[in-house]
Chains A and B, each alone.
Chain A
Amino acid sequence: MSLPKFDYQAPQTLDEAVLLLSKAKKDAKVIAGGTDLVVAMKQRRITPALVVNIKGIKGLEYIKNGKGELRIGALTPLSSIEESELIREKFPALAKAAGAVGAPQHRNAGTIGGNICLNTRCWYYNQSPFFRKCRPVCYKFGSDKDKCQLFPTREGKANVCYSVFSGDTAPALIALGAKIKIKGPEGEKTIPLTELYTGDGKRPIALAPADIVTEVTVPSPPENSSSAYMKYRVREAIDFPLLGVAVSIALDAGSGTCKNASVVLGAVASRPVEVTEAEKILKGKKITEDLIEQVGEAAFKAAKPLANLLECSPQYRKRLAKVFTKRAIKSALEIIKSA
């Protein structure tokens, strides 16, 4: 199916790009790798009047080991992240997550910026124009007057969309404490990545229309720490996560007790979900089987998926959240031990 028509611009600088976007009417879209946006446009879910290709902007593709932090340019392809020796060694959760996105072709074209700005998914929404001839449009696709077709709210109540954030790298990055740099009409700002996500399935990404993510930064991990990412999907390639779990853990060098711990779940809600209990359970303690079990239980509670992915039930995803959280913690501890 052909793409819908649109006006196309390929600015050479960030300022130019921001200017183009801010002058444009509401429905302008940034395109990076295009591996998410082009599908959405082919399915006529998103039909922007203007597409601004930011790939021509120089200096946004890099992986740098800066002062106390890792800096990744927004246009860096996921395959470069997956293959980076530095990231594999110091930020294993991120390397794993980047390497678990789609298939090699998606990772070669897809950028880190696009991956964290990924649209949310729902079986009712990610469908073709023919599907929409057979079924009414839902709230996410349509206007505020259209109802959520899977979990309709009662008459008079505001609509909610529960579509699922299915990006792989975001949970890993959040577990690693990442921040992002955003360039907009008002200039540049840096926010914690977790603030990029609204939790609202209809408008999941907290960016203004003319905002462009330019960089992702991750603090260098302390000694005696590591991270892990585990993903459940039906096939080992191509498929989006039905569940993602990212874990990062730092231990005290002397006592071996837990200094910091972070557990973040992907694909269980409209945003990555931080299992805040995890740190409370683990901090200051020696990590035992029993504590790991408790964190698993906390992940189970924190995960509140709904029935909007076709492949499996929310109960199953919830259950897996526990199993995978435990495994991810063990895997991270394993790496620390072997180092």
Chain B
Amino acid sequence: MGFSVIGKSLPRKDDPLRATGKAKFTADFFLPGMLYGKILRSPYPHARILNIDTTKAERLSGVKKVVTGKDTLGIKFGVTGFIPPSFDEYALAIEKVRYIGDEVAAVAAISEEIAEEALDLIEVEYEQLPAVFDPIEAMKPGAPEIHDLEHVKNNISLYVDRNFGDVEKAFKDADYVREDEFYCQPVDHAPMEAHVSLADYDVSGKLTLWTSTQSPYYVHKHLERTLGLKESQIRVIKPYTGGGFGDRAGGMSACEFCAALLSIKTGRPVRISYTREEETSTSPRRHPMKVYLKSGVKKDGTLLASHYKLFADTGAYNNYGCVSINIPIEAMTVTYRVPSVRYEGYLVYTNTQPSGAMRGHAHNQPSFALDTQLDLIAEELGIDPIDIRIKNARQEYETSCSKIIVGSCGFTRCLEQSRDLSDWNNRKKKQKQGRGIGVGTMSFASGAAFNFFGAPSGYSAATVRLLDDGTVTVLTGASDIGQGSDGTLSMIAAEELGVSMNDIRIISADTELTPVDYGSYSSRVTMFAGNAVKSAASDAKMQLFETVAKKLEANIEDLEAKDRRIYVKGSIEKGMSFAEAICETMAANKMMPVIGKGNYNPHVQFNMLTGEGNCTPAYSFASYVAEVEVDKETGVVKVPYLVAAHDCGRAINPTRVEGQLEGSVQMGLGHALMEELVMDKGLVLNSSFLDYKFPTALEMPSIKSVVVEAPDPHGPFGAKESGEGTTIPVVPSIGNAIYDAIGVRLKEMPFTPEKILKALEEKEKRT
């Protein structure tokens, strides 16, 4: 199919605004009379609040309002509404605090300094309670009870036990069975912009909130619930936002709630900006997980069975946890054709920072285990690591043991390309001392069709307005947080309507103006919002076609929209300009505006009881090969080169897809080698960018990105996801390469020089 716009690497129309500093992020707004908010946080990991005395703080000059849990409606929130117990958090603590950083009170004052000073004057009387910081400890009988909830025993918020296929029999049939234990550390999203929210509650009783969010609609819904406002009283706008990676993907943050509440109470605009410390230590992190994996294979490497046990530390609150503990099934059953899988997942409360969704959401951990264990098995059986993967690789349109229908699948091609472009076969044979290569893989959902709010599904809607000068306005709820959805969606609309990208103006992520879209999470935007925009554009186009067909006395089916014209296919002169067509259509319809409506609401069926079925229409796949250099004297690992082959269905914008791959490599590299939230009894010790280290330009490998296209019939122009899944293969590829280089196997992330030296020493002792 010849595309005009799709497949081109076009910048977003507003990239020049970002390049010149004119793009306004939330912290760049100053409203008249604006107050500055600050949040008082618990210094204890677990304590009962006996009393809060705010009088001194209120008396400080410049302080306009102090609020505590008593000033709220005391309604719990969370992320997922479909599992009732999932809502377990108050925006401002009531009775108890459950982690260091839990929100206790908030202040609005005429300056940030005064607000800070006021925090010191709030007197909180706590009764400290015993606390627990490790999920395994927390599950033991007699451990401190963090939530007093009926369904929670031993701090287990959710336990799932899934059985697909006949696991017991499969293990019996296996020629080789092995068991390994892995650990994935807590890591931080670390978007460059910390949380910031500006609320303005006006005299008409309307609350406008500008906020750095990935999901304005969730924020809207939660504000509605927790503040007791009507849907129409709230407007949530996402201005330019500095990244997210899952950090602000769900529910609502205390930043948003407190800014809104303080604005309501003072009648003045209130802005709250998190410090980097708050961002790192109180906004969600990736679930630290212990992963047990037992796999059974035939002699030839065919996978027969896996049994996973995951212990996910959700911290003090569920946040995304109830989703997080359900979706690893995809990682376990989709990437490889394993016929039987048992999965036991424990979502466990501890007195630590809450965990949430993060790029590759709950897939990274089991995938790290699987990809590492596959190499161990391959070695044992004398099979090449890529061969064993190709042997078991998922093929298109298969159904997994978990009854997931897989759509298009270019996984084998990804494996082959990463092998060939990395010169795998040669390098495997003759490698310099301390150098090695390794492979890592993934599959990932192109958007979860979960229904978090009892809506029919996690859907997207869009409208497209055609203006009489031939330009187009796209309205979408999708949030561009940097990944580039504004550009991608503009391109989709341009392609569908046969106009140029320049003709498109996009208005996005404003709950008052734009149709519903649940947000930028689960790598859903291209699939969901993309399809919605495509269908809205198509709807508008059909309105034009109708008029044009009448005018030209042609068949609608024979018409084509291209190069800003609508004409009979094959004879470009037989038609009219796009602008004319719009004017004609309006004229033919009593000057009615031409507006196309569209939505996307895939029919996928995930069974919450059995864990079977799809929660997404399509899967992306990838295979990466990393090359490492290990200094055996110091244990320091460098990654000079990495090939990333990724089946994203169709690259709507190849530069953006590469950008996702490259950004993912940076994040994965950080997770593999250096990133870890260090905690002492629930207190995060490295909450600054100096101490929480992620790679600079100097650590980056040279990256060869390969876009493998296996267009999916569900995707807009065949596109699937790119962005989340792309982080997953990095860690195992590096881990496997380290093994190739120096013969030591690390099962605990991150792979620090010390762990490497220790493993080397142990290896020497053994031999």
Contact = CB atoms under 8 A, between A and B. Distances in A.
In this complex, the member of A127, A234, A323 whose beta carbon has the largest number of chain B beta carbons within 10 angstroms is: A234
Interface string B39-52: 00101100000000
Interface residues of B, number: 30
A152 to B, nearest CB: 16
In this complex, the member of A103, A134, A236, A323 whose beta carbon has the largest number of chain B beta carbons within 10 angstroms is: A134
Contact of A236 (B41, B112, B699): B699
B43 A319 contact: no
B674 A133 contact: no
A237 interface: yes
B754 A235 contact: no
A153 interface: no
B757 A310 contact: no
In this complex, the member of A130, A236, A312 whose beta carbon has the largest number of chain B beta carbons within 10 angstroms is: A130
B753 A316 contact: yes
A323 B697 CA distance: 26
A311 B678 CA distance: 9
Given A135-B683, A235-B674, A130 B41 contact: yes
Contacts of A103: 696
B691 to A, nearest CB: 6
Nearest to A323: B633
Contacts of A234: 674, 693
B73 to A, nearest CB: 28
B272 interface: no
A123 interface: yes
Interface in B263-291: 275, 277
A127 B277 CA distance: 10
A323 B631 CA distance: 11
A323 B277 CA distance: 35
Nearest to A135: B683
A237 B633 contact: no
Nearest to A3: B113
Nearest to B275: A1
Interface residues of A, number: 27
B690 interface: yes
A130 B757 contact: no
Contacts of B690: 238-240
A235 B275 contact: no
B698 interface: yes
A2 B693 contact: no
A62 interface: no
Contacts of A1: 116, 275
B192 interface: no
Nearest to A317: B754
B634 A323 contact: yes
A311 B691 CA distance: 8
Interface string A108-136: 00000000000000010001101101110
Interface in B642-696: 674, 678, 683, 685-687, 689-691, 693, 695-696
A105 interface: no
A235 B692 CA distance: 11
Interface string A200-236: 0000000000000000000000000000000010111
Nearest to B686: A310
B752 interface: yes
A320 interface: yes
Nearest to B758: A316
A38 B453 CA distance: 47
B631 to A, nearest CB: 9
Nearest to B689: A238
A8 B277 CA distance: 28
Nearest to A124: B685
B696 A316 contact: no
A313 interface: yes
B100 interface: yes
A238 B692 CA distance: 12
Contacts of A323: 633-634
Contacts of B696: 103, 235-238
B281 to A, nearest CB: 8
B638 to A, nearest CB: 10
Nearest to A4: B113
A214 B705 CA distance: 53
Nearest to B680: A135
In this complex, the member of A123, A311, A319, A320 whose beta carbon has the largest number of chain B beta carbons within 10 angstroms is: A311
Contact of A133 (B43, B113, B757): B43
Nearest to B694: A235
B691 A316 contact: no
Contacts of A310: 678, 685-686, 691
Nearest to A313: B754
Contacts of A239: 690, 693
B116 to A, nearest CB: 8
Contacts of B113: 2
A240 B689 CA distance: 12
Contacts of B754: 312-313, 316
Contact of A319 (B691, B693, B757): B757
Contacts of A237: 696-698
Given A1-B275, A323-B633, A235 B691 contact: no
Nearest to A131: B683
Nearest to B282: A130
Interface in A290-326: 310-313, 316, 319-320, 323
Contacts of A235: 674, 693, 695-696, 698-699
A4 B259 CA distance: 25
Contacts of A133: 43
A48 B462 CA distance: 57
Interface in B434-490: none
Interface in B41-80: 41, 43-44
Nearest to B673: A234
A170 B348 CA distance: 49
B698 A128 contact: no
Nearest to A240: B690
A232 B634 contact: yes
Nearest to B631: A323
Contact of A134 (B100, B678, B752): B100
A329 to B, nearest CB: 14
Nearest to A2: B113
Contacts of B695: 235
Contact of B634 (A240, A311, A320): A320
Given A2-B113, A237-B696, A316 B674 contact: no
Contacts of B686: 123, 310
A316 B634 CA distance: 9
Contacts of A240: 690
Contacts of B634: 232, 320, 323
A130 B277 contact: yes
Given A128-B277, A235-B696, A238-B696, A134 B674 contact: no
B245 to A, nearest CB: 19
B440 to A, nearest CB: 22
Interface in B232-285: 275, 277
Given A123-B686, A235-B699, A238-B696, 14 more contacts: A103-B696, A127-B685, A128-B275, A128-B687, A134-B44, A135-B683, A234-B693, A235-B674, A236-B699, A237-B698, A310-B678, A310-B686, A312-B752, A313-B754
Interface of B: 41, 43-44, 100, 112-113, 116, 275, 277, 633-634, 674, 678, 683, 685-687, 689-691, 693, 695-699, 752-754, 757
18 contacts: A2-B112, A2-B116, A123-B691, A128-B275, A130-B277, A134-B43, A235-B674, A235-B699, A236-B696, A236-B698, A236-B699, A237-B697, A239-B690, A239-B693, A312-B754, A316-B754, A316-B757, A323-B634
Closest 9 A/B residue pairs (Cβ): A236-B698, A134-B43, A133-B43, A237-B696, A323-B633, A316-B754, A2-B113, A234-B693, A234-B674
Interface of A: 1-2, 103, 123, 127-128, 130-131, 133-135, 232, 234-240, 310-313, 316, 319-320, 323
